[in-house]
Amino acid sequence: MAFISVLASAGCGVLYQSPEVKEREDGSPVTVVPLTSAEVSRANSSPYTPRALPAVFYAAAGAGSSQPGLGALPAEPYLPSTTPKQQTFRPLPDTLPEPYKIGVGDVLLLATKSSGSTVEQLSGLLAAQNQRQGYTVRDDGSIAIPEVGPVQLSGLTVQEAEDRLFQVLVQNQIDPSFSLEMAEFHSKKVAVGGAVKSATLVPITLNKLTLSAALTSAGGVSVRDKEFAVVRVYRDGNLYEMPVSMYLDRQDLQDKVLLNGDAVFVDTSYDLDRAVEFYKSKIDIISLRTDARESTLTALETEVALQRNSLEERRDLFELRTKLGAEKHDYVYLTGEVENQARFQLPYQQHATLADVLYSEGGFDTTTGDPSQIYVLRSDDQSDNLAAITAYHLDARNPANMIIATKLEMRPNDVVFIEEQQITKWSRALQQLFPSLLRTAETSVLGAL
């Protein structure tokens, strides 16, 4: 390159100039800062509030207007004040289910051998209980076995109850060959209500009872607008809340284990269809009072059309002023090896990133641009020296670094600059050099003749 520069200087007095980020001729500093996560955070901390769209872009036809000539809207019916409340997320804590313990009201099935001696010894038991399909645990926590008496089983697991019965039968000299099963579960329940198809009490059995299983037993969640519904679980004086939309998307919430005494309630604070029906009923009431339902609705439609036309006219006027440059905007400027030397208008009410600027304008030319030399030049307006410039340097040879470009927020008057590749500099220098040398040689030859 130095050789070409010398030839160019000697041959035609022209030296190819390649733009690059460096200190300016007047000595004003240009600080090059490699873009890292920390530097992105620092750069983004500079104050900037995106421009807001005119209020006309937020107005809706039919929302009321004070514009001259439009008149007032007909009186609106009363609407319910209930609005969607901010949903909180406080999931049930994870619990390890304990082995089922027998309780009052549970029904146990006691089965013995069918041998004659056993039948004779437990004839009263078999005659009485085989018809009832087992023993019901009484209020005192015991079951009454004929010829044996009450046996306390409440609070015991099935295995512990079998051990207790074995001891009692042996003590009463009865053949202890038996099996014990849980026939019915009544002592432990979970209440399910609210916006479900059928409120119910769901018993807890030998298997763990999950939140999903409990709601399924109640017929499932029955709400029109799931985004406003919440699954609430009351447990030991604590309230746990899970938005229905989140509950339906997450298996871990559906698999939460319920405990005895839990109360599950599906609640919705806002129902869109109900609100619409309410609105219609109020319209009917107003119409009955004024006996002019058709004229009221016609007046409403006419007024809405007038307001809509007014809004569209003002919006069109703003867009026309924008095209003619009568509205002030914030811009970022692209230069160097980009697809188009252009300016990028920063959007209204949101921040644009370096990636937005690059790719909305077609990115940079990878055949001529150097991906390791991408710069964002920004004037340091916070310092006393307004001429100071910070050059945020992005090395995008590794495409993973482009993630940083999606995080760096743009500021008004930023300049995005991409340097040439070395081979591009050589190519352009040679393109300018050879025609000049040929012209010089031709001039020399003609002069010699």
- CATH at residue 407: 3.10.560.10
Residue 355 Cα distances to 21, 203, 306, 377, 423, angstroms: 20, 57, 42, 15, 26
Whether residues 406 and 355 fall in one domain? yes
Do the domain assignments include residue 134? yes
3-state class of 171 per DSSP? helix
Whether residues 115 and 149 fall in one domain? yes
Structure confidence at residue 293 as a pLDDT band (50, 70, 90): low
Do the domain assignments include residue 124? yes
Region 70-91: what's the mean pLDDT? 55
407: how many CB neighbours lie within 10 A of its CB? 15
- Per the CB < 8 A criterion, the answer to whether 187 and 177 are in contact is no
Structure confidence at residue 291 as a pLDDT band (50, 70, 90): low
Query: Of 7-11, 327-331, 419-423, where does mean pLDDT reach its minimum?
Result: 7-11
Whether residues 393 and 333 fall in one domain? yes
Region 75-84: what's the mean pLDDT? 46
pTM of full prediction above 0.75: no
Instruction: Kindly calculate the radius of gyration of the chain based on its CA atoms and give it in whole angstroms.
Output: 41
Total count of domains within the chain: 3
Do the domain assignments include residue 85? no
Q: Give the alpha-carbon dihedral of 281, 282, 286, 287, to 10 degrees.
A: -30
DSSP 8-state class, residue 228: G
Whether residues 160 and 208 fall in one domain? no
pLDDT tens-digit map of 304-361:
777 778 778 877 887 887 777 777 888 899 888 887 788 888 888 889 998 888 888 6
Whether residues 123 and 174 fall in one domain? yes
Residue 247 sits in which domain range?
189-269
Q: How many residues does the chain have?
A: 449
Does residue 131 surpass a pLDDT of 50? no
CA distance 316 to 298: 27
DSSP 8-state class, residue 391: E
CATH code, 144: 3.30.1950.10
Does residue 91 surpass a pLDDT of 60? yes
Query: Of 28-32, 186-190, 361-365, where does mean pLDDT reach its minimum?
Result: 361-365
- Per the CB < 8 A criterion, the answer to whether 169 and 149 are in contact is no
Do the domain assignments include residue 412? yes
Query: Which residues are CB-neighbours of 95 under 8 A, at least 6 positions away?
Result: 257, 259
What pLDDT sits at residue 135? 87
Whether residues 336 and 376 fall in one domain? yes
Scored b (16 or more CB within 10 A) or e, 245-270 reads ebbbeeeebbebbbbeebbbbbebee
Whether residues 27 and 46 fall in one domain? yes
Do the domain assignments include residue 379? yes
Of 146, 163, 184, the residue at which a domain comes to its end is 184
What pLDDT sits at residue 8? 44
What tokens appear for 138 in the block?
């009484």
Of 184, 216, 248, the residue at which a domain comes to its end is 184
Region 368-381: what's the mean pLDDT? 85
Of 250, 269, 288, the residue at which a domain comes to its end is 269
What pLDDT sits at residue 301? 74
The larger pLDDT score, comparing residue 435 to residue 169, is at 169
Whether residues 227 and 194 fall in one domain? yes
Residue 146 Cα distances to 135, 160, 291, angstroms: 11, 21, 80
Do the domain assignments include residue 161? yes
Whether residues 195 and 154 fall in one domain? no
What pLDDT sits at residue 415? 92
Cα 100 → chain centroid: 39
Structure confidence at residue 72 as a pLDDT band (50, 70, 90): very low
Do the domain assignments include residue 449? no
Cα 232 → chain centroid: 21
Whether residues 372 and 339 fall in one domain? yes
Q: Based on the number of CB atoms within 10 Å of its own CB, is 78 exposed (0-12), middle (13-18) or buried (19 or more)?
A: exposed
Residue 119 Cα distances to 115, 122, 416, angstroms: 6, 5, 97
Residue with tokens 């202890």: 176
3-state class of 126 per DSSP? helix
Do the domain assignments include residue 436? no
Whether residues 173 and 196 fall in one domain? no
What pLDDT sits at residue 447? 64
The larger pLDDT score, comparing residue 360 to residue 79, is at 360
Backbone angles phi, psi at 112, to 5 degrees: -120, 170
Whether residues 335 and 254 fall in one domain? no
